[in-house]
Structure 1
Amino acid sequence: MNSPYSHAALIIVGHGSTLNPDSSAPTHRHADEIRRRGIFREVVCCFWKEEPTMREVFESVDSDVIYIVPNFISEGYFCQQVLPRELRLDGPVTQRDGKTIHYCDPVGIHPNMTRLLLQRADEVAPGVPRAETSLIIVGHGTNLNDNSTKAIQEQVRLIRDGGYGFAEVVDAYMEEAPLVSDWVTMTTAANVVVVPFFIADGLHSFQDIPVLLGMEKEPGKALSEMEVFRQNPILMHGRNLFYSSAIGTEPLMAEVILDQVHDFDAKHGVQASAMAAPRPLLKEGLLRWMAEGRDVMGQVLFVPEGPGYLLRHVADADLPLDGLTQHVGAPAAREIARCDETGAFRPIKTAATLRRGWALQVADVEELLLALEFFYPAALGMALAQAAGTLVPVPLRSLLGRQTGMYRFANGITDAQAGEIIGSTCQVEAKCLRRIVFGLDSAQPLGGPAVVKLGADAGLVPGMAAGRCVPLLCMEACNHIVSVARKVSRENNDAKAKQTAS
């Protein structure tokens, strides 16, 4: 590999969702494309609302040099506050644990986004003259950070002033003026092209914006049934309305991610050049454990098969292969793990809901590592770090105490409620297979119903010998716990207010 980044890791950070399987899909696709090119030693993703989290993801890479690119539209609230806090960054360059971490700008503010917007507008309205077309770039809008609309306004300015030939170019938002619902009065051309300036096609682009535009009467259709991108043009108010999918789904976004890496190096004087890569500790650890007889992770059995490895559901271990659906290549693991037997999205990959009936062949141990990462993000790295004594769990109080925005109340739960929330949410509702290794705080362990998640047998498939298993560990409470803690905290505050009033 001749790439100057052949010793480095690339971490692409996305938002993700606990409800929408399409939210993280573009981020994964862009990572697949960059990984395919062999530019970086390692390419992984992490998310705000999905696995792996921003604390866990560092256990997924061995490299000492790491580039982080936020797959976000603006440099607002998330990129300036949430991501640096969760990734434990000091600034553009962070030195920690012998690693150099470069924090790049979000993709949405890169100048090449203009080219993608123009391309998307032409694709959605082929053959329609730009001179007879109004272009609307739609964003979310928020009062949390003034920079949230800056990226869109800059793109509007660049296209408007760049002589690209549109009758008019305007910005519009879902939650602040100018509102996208006023598109009829803010445009005049016979044709109107609307491009959502979002990373993924989710609830906003599939449901909310179509309702605001008047294309749909109310949200509620399943995402897979939505036809909003297949109806162009739609005749409304005597004009042709063309509606595009989110700009972040454009395949060329992979180029923008790489552009942000190169721009970071230029901006900060980093001389990118191939260096000796550190030892492949994840690969060595997995091979060592396999030699010791460990061939199960969660609900996945993996064994040598020919020159590569064969993976299947542990419950299908005795079934003939010809009765299972055959898959080839690590990316198939991500699709297998995407939904349960009923087709419902699995935001918690460590839930005991992995569907059966498949067999996956991978070519070598590197591809096996990637497949296991897709099934159980960061799990191998956390288990190896725990065995080496280097894993640093995050106490629950520390996690809840650093929450901001609508979750800033989450730390108002009592110690007893903490144990009850984790015991119920993790064990009963989520059916999560992880063993919790974090405490209530730095000195006090979790108690109450949470104790069931702390034992040595937690993190293993029931009935499976511990010596065969790579344990699934939880080093930090997930967003589901934070959400429930916020709800209980608000209830505590309401109860106190009622007591005071009485």
Structure 2
Amino acid sequence: MNAGVYTSALNSHSHAALIIVGHGSTLNPDSSAPTHRHADEIRQRGLFREVACCFWKEEPSMREVYESVDSQVIYIVPNFISEGYFCQQVLPRELRLDGPITQRDGRTIHYCDPVGIHPNMTRLLLQRADEVAPGVPRRDTSLIIVGHGTNLNDNSTKAIQDQVRLIREGGYGFAEVIDTYMEEAPLVSDWHTLTTAANVVVVPFFIADGLHSFQDIPVLLGMESEPGKALSQMEVFRQNPIPMHGRNLYYSSAIGTEALMADVILDQVHDFDAKHHTAPQAPAPIPGDQLRQALTSWLGEDRHIIGQVHITSESGGFHLRHLEDADIPAAQLTLYTQPADAREIARNDAQGEFRPIKTAPTLIRGWLLKLPDLSSLQLALEFLYPAAIGMALAQEKGNLQPVPLRHLLGRQTGMYRFANGITDTQSGEIIASFCKTETNCLRRIVWPLDDSQPLPGPAAPKLSLESGQVPGTPPTRCIPLLCMEACNHIVSVCRKVARENHDAKPAA
């Protein structure tokens, strides 16, 4: 697996967009970090016209991400381990997919298989096992592949079981290969009774070093007495080996952090084309760069402010800085020069806390981002304020499709299926409290309560034309930040309130 294998095979995708879907987290950036890294790698190879990410728990959402790309042909690859609940139910619902191929709004959307079920994952697992225990003979090693385990979907464990079978039957020389899980048997906590070799290598079959793989599983293994810090809060990964139960335990980082996962993403696109015969025989027509053209037009109208970011044109390029740093000399600011630096700038607030809502008025100060061209500017703004340019353009053209709150809450499943049990009055109170512009979110809400009525009175400030930018900035100089659908944070609050409503009802 190397980049050269894919360059010629995927040249025809220069007309298309690739969207990589991840889970994300509201607690730390570790869950989404691998997805962003793989997108960066694929973007650098120039195989697709556009490369974007979206997430279940972070921005942009699966509904918003379509506003981030211009292309009429879109490939969606779930950066998920199993073909389970999320990939079979949640993602198709949120992405509005009819099946493997969806035609909508003049676009053709291809929904590929998740990365975790691809056969090339076997090679990555073997490579990771050898890396974590260098020089340790496989014949003296038990390999454990550990997953979450769930009763939501029978396919949630299939990807791991398939890999265990392939490694067992492939003659790769391990003393034994077993699958274990956090929440169903065989349990990872029983590793010392399930294995017999002197060395035990544990590889988490997870996409990221997030809460489960980096904090929960070490406790289940007995490596730690309680969950420690998140990976993003530590300077180094754990040291191996760990002597336990008379043996040497080697614990790996999650398989999804492997750099070659970018190639597995491309594998899934290649395999989708082969299966569905979708690779174009002739170059497809490429639409104009509408997002870039809109950005050029707005800057020409002196609309140089978006959220808390001030943009200036400098020597053919662009300088970005915090709005409150507009008059501070460049020499007194920390210099950045790459679009991806914007993602790092937007990651944490001044107290070092993770910013899951990028439109929160908590963007740090003290930086200067110098970019050479409009393409770099567009990408940097995408990291600072995901999908904001596309939503502003769609609103301007009358094409934005806001989703009423009741529609959003009504389509929830699983633990969130109760969310629509809030009253109309409570909906306005929730929005007024959680979405407050001065402290929580700069976006202007453009969605109603339902098909026939707007959000109730307390939410009115979030619907006004004065919302969508930092209070006090002239709207004529701003690119507005818009909200086309309530975020997952609102869904969580609505669920909590709805359950309280339910519990407060007298028994029948």
Q: TM-score range by the shorter chain?
A: over 0.9
**2:255 alignment counterpart:** 247
Task: Give, in whole Å, the separation in 2 of the partners of 1:13 and 1:293.
Answer: 35
**1:24 alignment counterpart:** 32
**2:60 alignment counterpart:** 52
**Is 1:207 equivalent to 2:209 in the alignment?**
no
Q: Tell whether the 8 Å contact from 1:9 to 1:42 is kept in structure 2 after alignment.
A: yes
**1:35 alignment counterpart:** 43
What SS is found at the alignment partner of 2:166?
helix
**Is 1:441 equivalent to 2:450 in the alignment?**
yes
Report which stretch shifted further, 423-432 or 471-480. Answer: 423-432
State the AA in 2 paired with 1:368.
L
**CA shift at 1:276, angstroms?**
2.9
State the AA in 1 paired with 2:309.
V
Deviations 1:246-297 (A, max 9, x none): 0000000000000000000000011245333111100111111111111111
**2:359 alignment counterpart:** 350
**1:417 alignment counterpart:** 426
Q: Tell whether the 8 Å contact from 1:297 to 1:470 is kept in structure 2 after alignment.
A: yes
Match for 1:483 among 466, 475, 492?
A: 492
**CA shift at 1:443, angstroms?**
1.3
**Is 1:126 equivalent to 2:139 in the alignment?**
no
Q: Tell whether the 8 Å contact from 2:303 to 2:478 is kept in structure 1 after alignment.
A: yes
**Is 1:165 equivalent to 2:181 in the alignment?**
no
Q: Tell whether the 8 Å contact from 2:30 to 2:232 is kept in structure 1 after alignment.
A: no
**CA shift at 1:222, angstroms?**
4.5
Deviations 1:164-206 (A, max 9, x none): 0000000000000110000011100000000000000011111
**Is 1:303 equivalent to 2:293 in the alignment?**
no
**1:276 alignment counterpart:** 285
State the AA in 1 paired with 2:272.
F
Deviations 1:333-366 (A, max 9, x none): 0000000111100000000000000000111101
**1:395 alignment counterpart:** 404
State the AA in 1 paired with 2:47.
I
State the AA in 2 paired with 1:274.
P
What SS is found at the alignment partner of 1:205?
helix
Match for 2:242 among 230, 234, 245?
A: 234
Task: Give, in whole Å, the separation in 1 of the partners of 2:283 and 2:115.
Answer: 24
Q: Tell whether the 8 Å contact from 1:206 to 1:228 is kept in structure 2 after alignment.
A: no
Match for 1:500 among 493, 496, 507?
A: 507
Task: Give, in whole Å, the separation in 2 of the partners of 1:40 and 1:227.
Answer: 34
Task: Give, in whole Å, the separation in 1 of the partners of 2:231 and 2:110.
Answer: 36
Name the % identity. 76
Q: Tell whether the 8 Å contact from 1:6 to 1:277 is kept in structure 2 after alignment.
A: no
List aligned pairs for 1:63-212, cutoff 5 A: 63-212=71-220
**1:62 alignment counterpart:** 70
What SS is found at the alignment partner of 2:435?
helix
State the AA in 1 paired with 2:316.
P
**1:473 alignment counterpart:** 482
What SS is found at the alignment partner of 1:126?
coil
Distance 1:227 1:139, change over 3 A: farther
Consecutive unaligned residues in structure 1, runs of 5 or more: none
**2:296 alignment counterpart:** 287
Task: Give, in whole Å, the separation in 2 of the partners of 1:221 and 1:325.
Answer: 28
State the AA in 2 paired with 1:133.
T
Task: Give, in whole Å, the separation in 1 of the partners of 2:233 and 2:362.
Answer: 24
Task: Give, in whole Å, the separation in 2 of the partners of 1:344 and 1:439.
Answer: 32
**CA shift at 1:301, angstroms?**
0.9
Distance 1:430 1:482, change over 3 A: farther
Q: Tell whether the 8 Å contact from 1:228 to 1:243 is kept in structure 2 after alignment.
A: no
Task: Give, in whole Å, the separation in 2 of the partners of 1:290 and 1:283.
Answer: 11
What SS is found at the alignment partner of 1:302?
strand
**1:432 alignment counterpart:** 441
**2:12 alignment counterpart:** 4
State the AA in 2 paired with 1:15.
H
Aligned length: 499
TM-score (norm 1): 0.98
Distance 1:254 1:240, change over 3 A: same
CA RMSD of aligned residues (A): 1.3
Q: Tell whether the 8 Å contact from 1:329 to 1:363 is kept in structure 2 after alignment.
A: no
Task: Give, in whole Å, the separation in 2 of the partners of 1:252 and 1:360.
Answer: 30
Q: Stretches of 4+ moved more than 2 A in 1?
A: 220-230, 271-276
Task: Give, in whole Å, the separation in 2 of the partners of 1:371 and 1:226.
Answer: 26
Consecutive unaligned residues in structure 2, runs of 5 or more: 1-6
Match for 1:455 among 439, 445, 464?
A: 464
What SS is found at the alignment partner of 2:13?
coil
What SS is found at the alignment partner of 2:12?
coil
Distance 1:155 1:430, change over 3 A: farther
Q: Tell whether the 8 Å contact from 1:194 to 1:242 is kept in structure 2 after alignment.
A: yes
Deviations 1:426-478 (A, max 9, x none): 11796100000000001110013211100001111122111110000000000
Report which stretch shifted further, 1-10 or 221-230. Answer: 221-230
**2:392 alignment counterpart:** 383
